[in-house]
Amino acid sequence: MKKRVLSGAMTSLLALSMLLAGCGGAQTTTQAPAEQPKTEAPATTPAAEPAKAGPKQLIIGRGGDTVGLDPIAQTDGESFKVTENVFDTLVGYAEETTEVVPSLAEKWEIAPDGLTYTFHLRSGVKFHDGTDFNAEAVKWNFERWSDKSHPQHNKEGFEYYNDMFGGYKGDETHVIKSVEAVDAQTVKFTLNRPLAPFIQNLGMSCFAIASPKAVQEAGPEKFNEKPVGTGPFKFVEWKRNDTITLEKNPDYWNAGFPKLDKLVFKVIPENTARLTALTSGEIDMMDGLNPDDAQTVKDNGDLQLILRPSMNLGFVGFNIEKKPLDNPKVREALAYAINKPAIIEAFFAGLGQPAVNPMPPSIWGHNNEIKDREFSIDKAKQLLSDAGFPNGFKIKFWAMPVARPYMPDGVKIAEAIQQDLKKIGVEAEIVTMEWATYLEKTKKGEQEMFMLGWTGDNGDPDNFLATLLDKNNIGGNNRTRWANEDAHKLLMSAQSATTKEEREKLYYQVQEIIFKDVPMVPLAHSTPALAARANIIDYKPHPKGSESLEKVDLK
Amino acid sequence: MALLSYSIRRVLMLIPVLLGMSIVVFSIIRAIPGDPALTILGEKASPKAIEDLREVLGLNNPWYIQYFDYLKQIITGDLGVSLHSGASITQEIGPYLAATTELTIVSMLFAVIIGVNAGILSAWKQNSWFDYCAMLIALIGVSMPIFWLGLMEQWFFAQELKWLPSVGRDNSRNPIEAITQFYILDTIIAGQWDQLWEVIKHLILPGIALGTIPMAIIARITRSSMLEVMRADYVRTARAKGLAQFWVVYKHALKNAMIPVLTVIGLQTGLLLGGAVLTETIFGWPGVGRYIFTAIGNRDYPVIQSGILVIATIFVLINLLVDLLYAYVDPRIKYR
């Protein structure tokens, strides 16, 4: 009896859902146009005048809340998505690449020895609290960040400052010797030693210039909730885990921008619910689209799909201290045997590109001349027998236990690779463990074959190539334990070179060496998908994951 | 008098319960494998950062010192500082609790009004067509996956019909100025009637999603409890007196049948206050369940500890309240 009731219930549920589905199909066609926002402007209004339909608002749905709004104290993308719009940095990045362009600094000179950087600041710029942006303000910000004894320095320190500029004032490795305000519009940085990515670092979202007066008045903790910068939008309100509201800064230095009057960042954790809210018009755009929903968005005339250029890398690494991975021929054979396009199709839902080099093409210095090995079982087998393993071998393959944008499902992808390797006789045994242990053990070099990835910080090639593969980083992020001397020399001279052209050449060579010696198989660069209402124009997502929305407008 | 001393004893009994709870919460966190500091910081952590964080978390002290430090802090009303946001948990948790409470009240109103009445009617018209339908719906309701129900509601009522909003507490294009953080109250205080309507509309879908399981449970309990009472002698006497069936059911039978129902309502309210993670996630509701859930994802240990402790305390308090309510509903209950 009980069983029958249950199955009856299931049937009726099924019937109900089918009924709902049926209604849905009919409803879409009739209901969709009704959602267009009504403009209250009478037909007589001249077309040139903006429609008086109230303020132009953009509501952005996203998966998680901001951690804090003081950019220097943050490391996460959800915080930078907001601070990018409230603050400016000395230099910025080009629209869709990591090429450095002017921002608060109009131009700059670098001394030939790479030890002095002189910035000429934009004049007439004001912070949202009315105080002037000038050389003193820049100097004050750098002092706050670098000096641990500064009254507005956080007790936890500033992680990115420490990472990017070699520690704090007084540390042996600290890069910045002094920051001088030469005159109101000129700032001079003197370095202790050349740091090639110096200017690249200054464009990072965290090194945004805050109003000294506002930080002093509020103190670092309150400022983290009530930010004041020079950016295109001013901070209005933050309801935690719900919304952050910004309004237009009418005095923004980039004349004519921003186009919008109001910007709301709204937290909707569930990806599907976020898409529903977008479809129903409660929000205007969203990030974190499920790759499987990309097609739904493309098929909906009210919506558009926007892809963010990639700034990450997912890879399969070889611990070259373990046999037989010490043999380059074996590594090359494994590289031939992994079917990258199939993995991207299956696990990234096509929203990714096969990786050739250990850095994404959105970063300058990416060597486009290198052509990837084609998936070939025959070549892999040939190389294996040349290396003395005609019948393959057994190996342990460590799979990531957590999902990351660069590796959506570590274990499943590992299983796909396991199948690929079986075809050349290599028996891979998948090993996985808790994340913290995984990171610790791979650092110590206990693994054989493993998977991991990296998301770029400052858009500099050094941030990928040296971090992941320089011999100085063995025991750190170089988990392949690849200690190639030639690559090391090139990476080191690239770190001390001052011109971009010079560095570019060196990185091209490094990538060639890496490609030939195969310490890792770069798998994929994922391109996160965003969806927006069709009336949104000029939204250009930046590879670094956050961007200023000053140019975005509504049709 | 007896009630008063019972109440005092009952409140004093909370102390060992709460202490026990704090020990459990404290040990769960420390039983998680791996170094918490490394787990929090992830693949980009430098050894120095890990050491610093261990220091901040107090992980370098022996566990009993850690526990007593924690206890000292809790007793002074300080719930600690979130590792993730750096803000005080005592301050942070306020708006979340308000959001969750508002949603819980609406869901429980929905669950109690429909559940109790459906249960009564089912018992009254036992084995009727209504009874079968109601109990079938209740059976479906009890086993309903909230996640699925929530997404279906959103898809049908928000996306297709466009009758109701799918996410959040208010319309972001016309946001509410928070005063008490209880938005229904806030809009009434401000006299913003259009906004009040918006707030109510935002409460409907999550309210139903969250209230469905309690509603079904309440309906089933009410029915079985009513059936039992209706067979009692005094009910038969009431009927024999010639009292209308309606008064027999609603006045005489109901009060006695309410005891188990009240227990269930109390338990369910407690559960909703803490267990609304799914609903809050689907409907983008900035509540306390999601606060803790997010903290688990971020390995924000202080928030997990204090959040669970706060919810558990509320749960215990609601059950205390229910116990005390018994006396009102059934004077035969003696507190000894």
Residue B107 lies in a domain: yes
- Express as a percent the part of chain B with pLDDT over 90: 27
Q: How many angstroms from the chain centroid is the CA of residue A188?
A: 30
Given a cut of 90, whether residue B47 has pLDDT beyond it is no
Q: Which of A222-236, B61-75, B83-97, B316-330 reaches the highest mean pLDDT?
A: A222-236
Q: Which two tokens stand for residue B71?
A: 């206890």
Type of residue at B172: S
3-state DSSP of A69-117: CCHHHCCCHHHHHHHHHHCCECEEECCCCCCEEECCEEEEEECCCCCEE
Q: Which tokens belong to A262?
A: 């109001």
Contact in structure between A519 and A317 (CB atoms under 8 Å): yes
Q: Looking at chain A, which residue has its C-alpha nearest residue B299?
A: A436
By the CB < 8 Å criterion, does A5 face chain B?
yes
Q: What is the pLDDT of residues A194-214, one digit of tens each?
A: 888 899 999 999 999 999 999
Question: What's the pLDDT score for residue A265?
Answer: 96
H-helix or E-strand containing B55? helix B47-57
Q: What is the pLDDT of residue B335?
A: 54
How far B286 CA lies from chain A's nearest CA (Å)? Answer: 5
Contact B139 A23 (CB under 8 A): no
With respect to residue B258, please indicate whether it lies within any of the assigned structural domains: yes
Confidence band of A551 (pLDDT split at 50, 70, 90): very high
Class of residue A433 by CB neighbours under 10 A (exposed 0-12, middle 13-18, buried 19+): middle
Task: Please name which of A554, A555, A460, A542 lies closest in space to residue A85, comparing C-alpha atoms.
Answer: A542
Give the pLDDT of residue A53: 60
Structure confidence at residue A251 as a pLDDT band (50, 70, 90): very high
CA distances from A542 to A75, A77, A205, A528 (A): 17, 12, 12, 11
Does the distance separating the beta carbons of B283 and A273 come in below 8 Å?
Answer: yes
Q: What pLDDT was estimated at residue A403?
A: 80
Residue B178 lies in a domain: yes
- C-alpha pair distances (Å), A359 with each of A94, A369, A461, A510, B187: 18, 14, 7, 12, 52
Interface confidence (ipTM) of the complex: 0.82
Partner residue opposite A20 with nearest CB, options B56, B156, B166? B156
What per-residue confidence (pLDDT) applies to B277? 85
Kindly state whether residue B27 falls inside one of the protein's structural domains.
no
Provide the 3-class DSSP secondary structure of residue A316: strand
Contact B34 A159 (CB under 8 A): no
Helix (H) or strand (E) holding B97: helix B89-124
From chain A, the residues in CB contact with B42 under 8 A are 435, 439
Min Cα distance B149 → chain A (Å) is 10
What value does the mean pLDDT take over residues B102-125?
Answer: 93
User: Average pLDDT in the B101-116 region?
Assistant: 94
Percent of residues in chain B assigned helix, strand, coil, to nearest 5: 75, 0, 25
Query: Considering only CB atoms, which chain B residues are within 8 Å of A434?
Result: 33-34
Q: How confident is the model at residue B175 (pLDDT cuts 50, 70, 90)?
A: confident
- Of A340, A348, A377, A272, give the one whose Cα is nearest residue A526: A348
Checking if the pLDDT of A494 tops 70, the result is yes
In a domain, B83, yes or no: no
Chain A CB contacts of B205 under 8 Å are none
Alpha carbon dihedral A57, A60, A65, A71, in 10-degree steps, equals -70
Contacting A residues, span 466-525, partner chain B, CB-CB under 8 Å: 477
Q: A323-356, pLDDT tens digit by residue?
A: 899 999 999 999 999 999 999 988 888 889 999 9
Do B182 and B101 touch, CB atoms closer than 8 A?
yes
Q: Which residue has the higher pLDDT, B330 or B82?
A: B82
**Number of structural domains, chain B?**
1
Q: Which of B173, B182, B291, B300 to mutate to test the interface with A (most CBs of A within 10 A)?
A: B173
**Residue B178's closest chain A neighbor by CA?**
A239
Supply the pLDDT for residue B44: 63
Is residue A39's pLDDT more than 70?
Answer: no
Range of weakest confidence among A273-282, A332-341, B295-304: B295-304
What is the DSSP code string of B218-242? HHHHHHHHHHHHHTSHHHHHHHHTT
Q: Report which of A213, A232, A522, B157 is spatially closest to residue A223, judged by C-alpha positions.
A: A213
- Average pLDDT of the residues in A36-55: 44
Is B329 among the domain residues? no
Give dist(CA B10, CA B13) in Å, integer: 5
How does pLDDT run across A425-436, given as a tens digit for each residue? 999 999 988 887
> Which pLDDT score is estimated for A490?
94
Question: Could you read off the pLDDT of B225-234 as tens digits, one per residue?
Answer: 999 888 888 8
Mean pLDDT of chain A: 87
> Chain B, 290-329: which have a CB under 8 Å from a chain A CB?
290-291, 294
Cα A116 to Cα A108, A446, A462, distances in angstroms: 10, 43, 21
pLDDT of residue A482: 94
Average pLDDT over residues A245-270: 93
Taking an 8 Å cut-off on Cβ atoms, the answer to whether A437 and B85 are in contact is no
Q: Do B38 and A439 touch (CB under 8 A)?
A: yes
pLDDT in tens, A111-127: 988 899 999 999 999 99
Cα gap B308→B306, rounded to integer Å: 6
CB contact under 8 A, A268 and B87: no
Least confident range of A26-40, A65-79, A214-228, A311-325:
A26-40
Tell how strand A394-398 and strand A449-455 pair up: parallel
For residue B264, the enclosing domain spans 89-286
* Residue B323 placed within a domain: no
Q: List CB contacts of B113: < 8 A, sequence separation 6 or more.
A: none
Q: Does the residue B161 lie in any domain?
A: yes
Assess contact for A291 and A350: CB atoms under 8 A.
yes
Any A CB within 8 A of B87 CB: yes
CATH of residue B223's domain is: 1.10.3720.10
Residue of B nearest to A79 (CA): B85
- As a whole number, the mean pLDDT across chain B is 85
Q: What's the pLDDT tens digit per position in B266-283? A: 888 888 876 588 899 899
A2-31 and B129-142 helices cross at what angle (nearest 10)? 80
pTM for the full model?
Answer: 0.81
CB contact under 8 A, B35 and A440: yes
A6 pLDDT more than 80 = no
Q: Return residues 136-195 of B near A (CB < 8 Å).
A: 136, 139-140, 143, 150-152, 154-156, 158-162, 165-169, 171-173, 175, 178
- CA-based nearest distance B199→chain A, Å: 14
Cross-chain Cβ contact B156/A23 below 8 Å: yes
**Which member of B38, B85, B178 has the closest CB to residue A239?**
B178
For residue A341, what are the CA distances in angstroms to A293, A353, A497, A526? 20, 8, 36, 12
Label residue B213 by pLDDT band (50, 70, 90): very high
Give the A window 245-304 contacts with B, CB below 8 Å: 245, 264, 266-270, 272-274, 276-277, 279-283
Residue A9 has pLDDT above 70, yes or no: no
Contact (CB, 8 A) for A240 and A141: no
Q: CB of A64 within 8 Å of any CB in chain B?
A: yes
Mutate which: A439, A467, A479, vs B, most B CBs within 10 A? A439
Q: What is the pLDDT of residues B312-332, one digit of tens each?
A: 888 888 888 888 887 677 766
Q: A with B: how many residue pairs have Cβ under 8 Å apart?
A: 157
Annotate A144-175 with b (16+ C-beta within 10 A) or e (fewer): bbbeeeeebbbeebbbbbbbbbbbbbeeeebb
* pLDDT for the residue numbered B331: 65
